[in-house]
Amino acid sequence: MFPIREAKRPAAAPAPVEARCDDDAVVDCALYVDGVRQPAGPCLADLLAAAEATPSGFVWIGLHEPSPAKMAEVAKVFDLHPLAVEDALSADQRPKLERYEETAFLVVRAARYVEHTEVTETSEVLETGSVRMFVGARFVVTVRHGTVGGLRAVRADLEANRALLAQGPWAAVHAICDRIVDVYLDIAAAFQRDLDAVEARVLRREASAGIGQIYQLKRELVEFRAAVLPLQQPLATILDGRTVKLTKEVRRYFRDVADHNTRVADRVGGFDDLLNSMLQARLAQVTVDQNNDMRKIASWAALAALQTAFAGVYGMNFKYMPELQWRYGYPALLLVMLLTSALLYRRLRRSGWL
C-alpha cells in the first residue's frame, strides 16, 4: 500500500529515500527538481514537502481508476477541491478546464484507433478513455480512466527532455496533451483511409457498401468529435494568459498543441460532410434500385395479366363464343396468347422496363 499522510512543512528536505508506489491505483509517482527525477521520502506527503522546499521542484503522481477512498487521501494531501475530486471520479466528463483557487482541473479525452481489415456494420473503429489532471504550483495529479491514454511513455520521454521538464508542472501537462493530440492526428489519417475505402465501394455500387457501414462510421465519428472539438476551448483558455500563468516557452508548446487540435477539428468537420454525402448517394442508389425493381415487377405482372385476360374470357363457358366450335380454336388461342406476350415483352424491353 502506498502510504499517504498530510503534508508537513519541514525547514529542510527529508533524507533521500526511494519512494514506494505499490498501490494498484498508483501507476507512478516522483519528485522532479530542475527536470531530474529525484529519490524522496516513502510517502506522498514527504514528496510534496520536498518539492515545496526546493525552488524548482514539483511532484507528479499518476493514478489509474482510483477508488473514492484513495482519491480522498490524495485530495487531502494536495488540498484538492471536493467538486473537482467528484468530477475526477465521474465516469464521463467532457474536456474542460476549471480553476479552484491555486489549482487547475483539466479534463482531456484520449483516443485510440482500433485496427480492422474492413469497415462493417459492427466494426469498432475508435476506443476512448479519459485523463483528468490537477495542476498546482508544485504538483501534477493525473487520473486516468479506461485502457486508453497510458502515460508511462509520456513520462519516460519527458524525463529524457530535462530542459522542458524543468519548466514545471505545466510542462508535464503539455506533454500529456501533446501526445493525446498527436494520436488524434494519427486517428484522423486512419479514419480517412476507412472513408476512402467505403466511398470507393459506394461509387462502384458494390453490394457490400451498405448504409449500415456509413452509419457505423458516423457513430464512431461522433465519439471522435466529442473528444476533439470540446478540447479547443480549454486550450484557448490556457493560452489566453488570464486563467493560467505560463512561461513563454511552455506557452509556445501549448500553442503548437492547439494548432494541431484545430487541424484535427477541421478534418473531423470534413469527414462529417463526406459521410453525409456518401449517405445521400447511397440512399439515392437504393431508391433507383427499388424503382427499377418495381418496374420489373410491374412488367411481369402486365405479362401475366394479359394471359389471365384471355383465360378469363374463355373460362366463362358461354354457349356462343368466337371459334368455340372450331377444331383448331384451342391451339389458335394459345398462339394468340404467345404472340401478344412476345409483342408486349418486346415493348417493355425497348422502353427499359425489363
Assess whether pLDDT exceeds 90 at residue 176.
Answer: yes
Residues 219 and 295 in one domain: no
- Position 323 scores a pLDDT of 67
Residue 54 placed within a domain: no
Distance CA 208, CA 210 (A): 6
- Position 9 scores a pLDDT of 37
* Global model pTM greater than 0.85: no
Contact 225, 111 (CB under 8 A): no
Distance CA 218, CA 235 (A): 26
Domain that holds residue 331: 286-350
Q: Please say which residue of 252, 281, 310 terminates a domain.
A: 281
Residues 126 and 193 in one domain: yes
Distance CA 53, CA 27 (A): 25
Contact 139, 60 (CB under 8 A): yes
Residues 233 and 266 in one domain: yes
**pLDDT band at residue 16 under the 50/70/90 scheme:** very low
- Position 122 scores a pLDDT of 80
Q: Please say which residue of 281, 296, 319 terminates a domain.
A: 281
Q: What is the DSSP letter of 165?
A: H
Residue 34 placed within a domain: no
- Position 79 scores a pLDDT of 92
SS3 127: strand
Residues 305 and 198 in one domain: no
Residue 317 placed within a domain: yes
Residue 23 placed within a domain: no
Q: What is the mean pLDDT of residues 160-171?
A: 91
Residue 6 placed within a domain: no
Mean pLDDT of the residues in the chain = 84
Assess whether pLDDT exceeds 80 at residue 314.
Answer: no
pLDDT digits (tens, 9 = 90+) for 101-160: 889 999 999 999 998 888 777 888 889 999 999 999 999 999 999 888 889 999 999 999
**Helix residue ranges, H only, 229-247:** 232-239
**pLDDT band at residue 252 under the 50/70/90 scheme:** very high
- Other CB atoms within a 10 A radius of the CB of residue 73 amount to 19
Place of cell 511552455: 250
Residues 126 and 172 in one domain: yes
SS3 158: helix
Distance CA 227, CA 146 (A): 14
**pLDDT band at residue 13 under the 50/70/90 scheme:** very low
Residues 215 and 335 in one domain: no
Residues 211 and 125 in one domain: yes
- Position 71 scores a pLDDT of 93
Residues 95 and 226 in one domain: yes
Residues 145 and 252 in one domain: yes
**pLDDT band at residue 189 under the 50/70/90 scheme:** very high
The DSSP result for 251-278, as a single string, is: HHHHHHHHHHHHHHHHHHHHHHHHHHHH
- Other CB atoms within a 10 A radius of the CB of residue 15 amount to 9
**Span of 183-197, 220-234, 259-273, 280-294 with lowest mean pLDDT:** 280-294
Residues 126 and 217 in one domain: yes
Distances in whole angstroms, Cα of residue 132 to Cα of each of 62, 126, 142, 144, 164: 10, 20, 6, 6, 21
- Position 312 scores a pLDDT of 79
pLDDT digits (tens, 9 = 90+) for 18-33: 344 446 788 888 999 9
Residue 170 placed within a domain: yes
Number of domains the chain contains: 2
Question: What residue ranges in the chain does DSSP mark as E strands?
Answer: 26-33, 36-38, 57-64, 96-100, 103-113, 126-135, 139-145
**Span of 77-91, 230-244, 323-337 with lowest mean pLDDT:** 323-337
Q: What is the mean pLDDT of residues 305-329?
A: 75
Residues 254 and 112 in one domain: yes
- Position 19 scores a pLDDT of 43
Residues 191 and 298 in one domain: no
pLDDT digits (tens, 9 = 90+) for 324-353: 677 777 787 788 888 888 888 888 788 877
Residue 71 placed within a domain: no
Contact 54, 183 (CB under 8 A): no
Place of cell 477541491: 81
Q: What is the CATH number of the domain that holds 137?
A: 1.20.58.340
Phi–psi pair at 74, nearest 5 degrees = -65, -40
Q: Please say which residue of 281, 311, 338 terminates a domain.
A: 281
